[in-house]
């Protein structure tokens, strides 16, 4: 409960400070973020990550399917032994 209250207080505080900063500050932050995002070094990193994900995604999908099958089998076996 204490964590939820702190989260709400943090959100309210962020909102109040954000509205006080105003649209001008928001635009400054946004422009800075766009400048960083468009930096060639950042884009190279993005491309590297995209390539890695494309390469590894099929393997991860197979492993996730195998794990799901194991869980399903375990649950079925547990149900079958508890029904007896």
Give 29-57 pLDDT, tens digit per residue: 789 989 999 999 999 999 999 998 889 88
CB neighbours of 26 closer than 8 A, spacing ≥ 6?
18
pLDDT at 68: 92
Q: Which residue has the tokens 């194991």?
A: 70
Any domain includes 84:
no
Q: Are 36 and 42 in contact (CB under 8 A)?
A: yes
Mean pLDDT score across all residues of the chain: 85
CA distances 24 to 28, 36, 77, Å, are 6, 19, 62
What domain range includes position 8? 1-38
Based on the domain organization, do 34 and 52 belong to the same domain? Answer: no
Based on the domain organization, do 11 and 34 belong to the same domain? Answer: yes
Based on the domain organization, do 27 and 48 belong to the same domain? Answer: no
CB neighbours of 43 closer than 8 A, spacing ≥ 6?
37
The total number of structural domains in the chain stands at 2
pLDDT at 82: 60
Based on the domain organization, do 27 and 57 belong to the same domain? Answer: no
- More confidently predicted of 26 and 48: 48
Based on the domain organization, do 25 and 52 belong to the same domain? Answer: no
Based on the domain organization, do 26 and 53 belong to the same domain? Answer: no
């Amino acid at each position: 409960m204490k964590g939820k209250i702190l989260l709400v207080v943090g959100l309210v505080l962020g909102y109040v400070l954000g509205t006080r900063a105003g649209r001008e500050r928001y635009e400054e932050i946004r422009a800075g973020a766009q400048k960083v995002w468009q930096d060639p070094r950042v884009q190279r990193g993005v491309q590297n990550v995209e390539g890695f994900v494309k390469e590894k995604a099929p393997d991860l999908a197979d492993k996730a399917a195998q794990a799901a099958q194991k869980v399903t089998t375990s649950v079925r076996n547990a149900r079958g032994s508890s029904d007896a």
